[in-house]
């Protein structure tokens, strides 16, 4: 089967981190690079998947910063590790945006609020949300994409989601096949 979205090199891939790129820690947070474990197959297909898009933008809620469990520099170190691993496999993320606030904070940049998408568009003027896909594993990811009128892909996990994405898949490997 194939997605009939006519994705080409003018599209943008917005992607969540925990539960999509790496294994999600359902009992806590990823607080160091030793705990950052790539999901099966991600490194192998990232080059193929990411190369289908003009931009790849990582958008991640990291309330562990707001809770004081890790610093912004600590999260950046984890992201440096992630990026270097992806680069070694021929894949590149163009922009990483982090929402550090705790859930429920005033003036939050957290998904599902559209702030990180608008910030990405301000930095990369050619981003067109109607030609963008948001891939995530939670309601806030899907609602973020819907709030910006993107196509949405839910990577299914043990997280119970009530939002209705455009499509549900088991992994980024499956998405890569569907976009062939």
Predicted local confidence at residue 107, as pLDDT: 85
For the chain, the structural domain boundaries read 12-178
pLDDT tens per residue across span 93-111: 999 999 999 998 888 999 9
Edge-to-edge order in the sheet of strand 55-61: 95-99, 55-61, 12-15, 132-136, 151-155, 167-169
Which residue do the tokens 């496999």 mark? 89
Which residue do the tokens 């429920």 mark? 104
CA dist 174 and 91 (Å) reads 17
CATH topology of domain 12-178: Rossmann fold (3.40.50)
As a whole number, mean pLDDT of residues 89-93 equals 97
Active site residues: 16, 18
pLDDT tens per residue across span 21-69: 999 998 999 999 999 999 999 999 999 999 999 999 999 999 999 999 9
Place 78 in a pLDDT band, splitting at 50, 70 and 90.
Answer: very high
What's the predicted TM-score (pTM) here? 0.95
Predicted local confidence at residue 1, as pLDDT: 54
CA dist 135 and 178 (Å) reads 13
Contact of 99 with 109, CB cutoff 8 Å: yes
pLDDT tens per residue across span 145-172: 999 999 999 999 888 999 999 999 999 9
């Amino acid at each position: 089967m194939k997605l009939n979205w006519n994705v080409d090199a003018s599209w943008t891939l917005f992607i969540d981190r925990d539960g999509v790129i790496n294994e999600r820690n359902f009992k806590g947070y990823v607080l160091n690079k030793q705990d950052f474990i790539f999901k099966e197959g991600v490194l192998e297909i990232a080059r193929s998947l990411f190369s289908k898009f003009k931009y790849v933008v990582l958008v991640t809620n990291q309330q562990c910063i707001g809770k004081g469990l890790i610093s912004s520099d600590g999260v950046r170190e984890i992201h440096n590790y992630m990026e270097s691993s992806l680069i070694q496999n021929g894949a590149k993320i163009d922009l990483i945006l982090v929402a550090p606030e705790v859930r429920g904070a005033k003036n939050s940049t957290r998904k599902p609020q559209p702030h990180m998408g608008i910030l990405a568009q301000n930095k990369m003027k050619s981003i067109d949300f109607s030609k963008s896909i948001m891939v995530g594993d939670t309601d806030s990811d899907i609602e973020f994409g819907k709030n910006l009128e993107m196509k949405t892909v839910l990577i299914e996990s043990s997280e119970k989601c009530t939002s209705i994405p455009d499509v549900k898949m088991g992994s980024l490997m499956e998405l890569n096949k569907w976009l062939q």
